[in-house]
Amino acid sequence: MPFLPALPGDLKAGEGPLDFVFVTGDAYVDHPGFAAAIIGRLLESRGYRVGVLSRPDPDDARAFRLLGRPRLAFLVSAGALDSMVSSYTANKKPRSEDDYAPGGQPELCLRADGTIGPGIKARRNARPDRAVIAYTARCREAFAGEGTGGGKASGGGVPVIIGGIEASLRRFAHYDYWSDTVRKSILLDSKADLLVYGMGERAIIEAAGRLAALTASRAGPLRSTEAREALRGIRGTSSWHGSRPELAATDCIELPSWEEASTDPAAFNESFRQVWRNAEARGGKRLVERTEGRYVVQEPPALPLGGSELDELYELSYMREPHPMYEVLTVPAIAEVRFSLVANRGCFGACAFCAIALHQGRTVTSRTLPSLVRETQALAAAEGFKGYIHDLGGPTANFFRPACPKMEKAGACPDRRCLTPEPCPSARPDHSEWIAALRAVRKVSGVKKVFVRSGIRFDWLMLDTEHGDEALAEIVAHHVSGQLKVAPEHISDKVLDLMGKPRRGIYEAFAARYAKLNRDAGLKQYLVPYFISSHPGAGLAEAIELAEFLRDEGFVPDQVQDFYPTPGTHATAIYHTGIDPMSGETIHVARGERERAMQRALLQFRKPENRELVREALRLAGRTDLIGRGPKCLVP
């Protein structure tokens, strides 16, 4: 099976136009770890012809013509990350590398002559800011006026469907950290015809069928306005209307308008709360948001793919390599996933700083064991395989089934988390399927070791009284190589409750159990915890509490992640408004660069370059007892 067409030379003479052209901010890697490959191969399996325009020069409409005008629509995504997150650090500094770019070099793009290099404006980063908006505009420009009445949203033009993480989490009025404003729905700003949110497989197949039927009934190129009308009402999508749509009040909730959400913190939080409460496929209602006389209508989420559907998706005919156009350049992001297995989707952990709950949903679905074994066998036979499966997991590796019987039938509860601040009494932890999957994959001929790198929820493991010890023993004995990375994220119970993470005592109990199992097995394997500084709710007192914990544990974190307010998360809503949208409680937020720097320095207090900041933080917090030469002091 060849790569999907990505250059003019990949197109076969006489086959006519492609049905879809997928425009992405990532380099084209034909691997199920990349959305363009998953959606492209899925559409291909249904009989559609799909091409991929990867990182086209954002300043040159000619680059968007390389594969011709698609018969049905352009599909536009910023890539695996929100383009602003991809291009800027949490402190708004430009990133010097991009793992999803050819050679990791952010300045490289696909040029109008079909070669890889800097674009016509030689941007520092060829992935444009707010890439979905920029790419959609270029798609329109590239084919404006070709018998379609021009490229304006009110007229004709080539149909454009947007999706991916950037579109998904910006589908309503959202706080944009980089501009410090509440921006409109990206559907309106991009003037696209449809927005697919969440995991888009079901929605894109239905949209493709409708567009194909519409095209068959008419002559000439498909018009944007025709496509927009035909695509309304698909689950897992948002559409826009020029006037208030007629929708039944019983299955529809009107959100505060963009005008209200952008000026009133209470309205912003009410909008977030309703989006969160209706984010599950089972029970979610239509949501409507007015912006300057236009209306965005979000249909209920698409139902998650079941086990056999996930099996089919991940066993499609992927090349599992970057496209040959990159020649000697590698795509760094392939290294970690090339020999990895995606086993599950969805996450009921619902961490406040994480977008997965709103993007993939909280209902967990998993692949079947025979499918995982088949894919492992294919990997073991692949060129370059050294015997190591780099990861067997998903958003959370040890979430292999819904948290409780109710979730399986009715979706996640809208008004509470499954695990925090206390585990729900209905939770039914069961690691038996996960254990079976680990054992089945590592028994495949040619496999030396299977790592678990996508993260585990240790509180879920500890909660499983029947299989939890067995599962942790499996990890210690077979699936760790020196270090197990975990993410307690903080140590202050107040902050952890806001984060949706397990409290300190649970982490300490898990760490003790892990250490004992390693001692009993005669192994020297360590926990490597990750922590976040400046998360909403964390002030200097909480940062000092975490620093004292690190002092007592003798652990020096190599890296500290500053809290990053990304669109669509619970923690970002708190960051913007200073109020928890769920409880209404006023929350401390570290906004200024100075406090953020002090919190980060406290977590790495042993670094000489941080000493002055640490001393300043300790004096401000009234903790000068931690300055000096005593055994409990953080800095001299």
Which of 580, 210, 565, 541 lies closest to 421 in space, CA to CA?
A: 580
Helix (H) or strand (E) holding 433: helix 432-442
User: In the prediction, which pLDDT does 156 show?
Assistant: 61
Cα(623)–Cα(615) distance, rounded to whole angstroms?
9
Give pLDDT tens digits for 249-287.
Answer: 778 999 999 999 999 999 999 999 999 999 999 889 999
User: In the prediction, which pLDDT does 153 show?
Assistant: 40
Instruction: Evaluate if residue 151 carries a pLDDT over 60.
Output: no
User: In the prediction, which pLDDT does 384 show?
Assistant: 93
Instruction: Give CA angle at 308 (302, 312), nearest 5°.
Output: 90
The answer to whether 102 and 20 have CB atoms below 8 angstroms apart is: no
Helix, strand, coil share (%) of the chain residues, nearest 5: 35, 15, 50
Instruction: Evaluate if residue 150 carries a pLDDT over 60.
Output: no
DSSP state of 299: P
Instruction: Evaluate if residue 46 carries a pLDDT over 90.
Output: yes
Query: Peptide bond preceding 581: is omega within 30 degrees of 0, i.e. cis?
Result: no
When pLDDT is cut at 50, 70 and 90, the band that residue 1 belongs to is low
Q: Where are the beta strands (DSSP E) in 478-595?
A: 483-489, 526-533, 561-562
Q: How much of the chain exceeds pLDDT 90, in percent?
A: 90
DSSP state of 254: E
Give the pair of three-digit tokens for residue 8.
């003019």
Q: Which region, left, alpha or beta, applies to residue 161 given φ > 0 means left and ψ of -120 to 50 means alpha?
A: beta
Cα(325)–Cα(334) distance, rounded to whole angstroms?
15
Q: DSSP of 41-61, one letter per residue? A: HHHHHTT--EEEEESB-TT-G
Give the pair of three-digit tokens for residue 223.
């018009």
**The CA-based dihedral angle spanning residues 55, 109, 34, 478, taken in that order and rounded to the nearest 10 degrees:** -160
User: In the prediction, which pLDDT does 559 show?
Assistant: 81
Question: How many other C-beta atoms are found inside a 10 Å radius of the C-beta of residue 332?
Answer: 17
User: Residue 594 CA to chain centroid, in angstroms?
Assistant: 29
Instruction: Evaluate if residue 308 carries a pLDDT over 90.
Output: yes
Instruction: Give CA angle at 191 (84, 147), nearest 5°.
Output: 130
Instruction: Evaluate if residue 593 carries a pLDDT over 80.
Output: yes
**The CA-based dihedral angle spanning residues 351, 353, 355, 356, taken in that order and rounded to the nearest 10 degrees:** -30
Give pLDDT tens digits for 421-438.
Answer: 999 999 999 999 999 999
Which of 73, 76, 226 lies closest to 156 in space, CA to CA?
A: 226
All domains of the chain in start order, with CATH: 8-237 (no CATH), 339-481 (3.30.750.210), 488-636 (3.30.750)
Give pLDDT tens digits for 538-590.
Answer: 999 999 999 999 999 999 888 889 999 999 999 999 999 999 999 999 999 99
User: In the prediction, which pLDDT does 146 show?
Assistant: 58
Q: DSSP of 131-158, one letter per residue? A: HHHHHHHHHHHHTTTSSSS-S-TTS---
The answer to whether 180 and 225 have CB atoms below 8 angstroms apart is: no
User: In the prediction, which pLDDT does 147 show?
Assistant: 47
DSSP state of 298: E
Cα(467)–Cα(401) distance, rounded to whole angstroms?
14
The answer to whether 626 and 634 have CB atoms below 8 angstroms apart is: yes
* Across 447-467, average pLDDT: 95
Which has more pLDDT, 116 or 219? Answer: 116
The answer to whether 322 and 334 have CB atoms below 8 angstroms apart is: yes
* Mean pLDDT of the residues in the chain: 94
Which of 60, 67, 55 lies closest to 5 in space, CA to CA?
A: 67
Helix (H) or strand (E) holding 118: strand 116-118
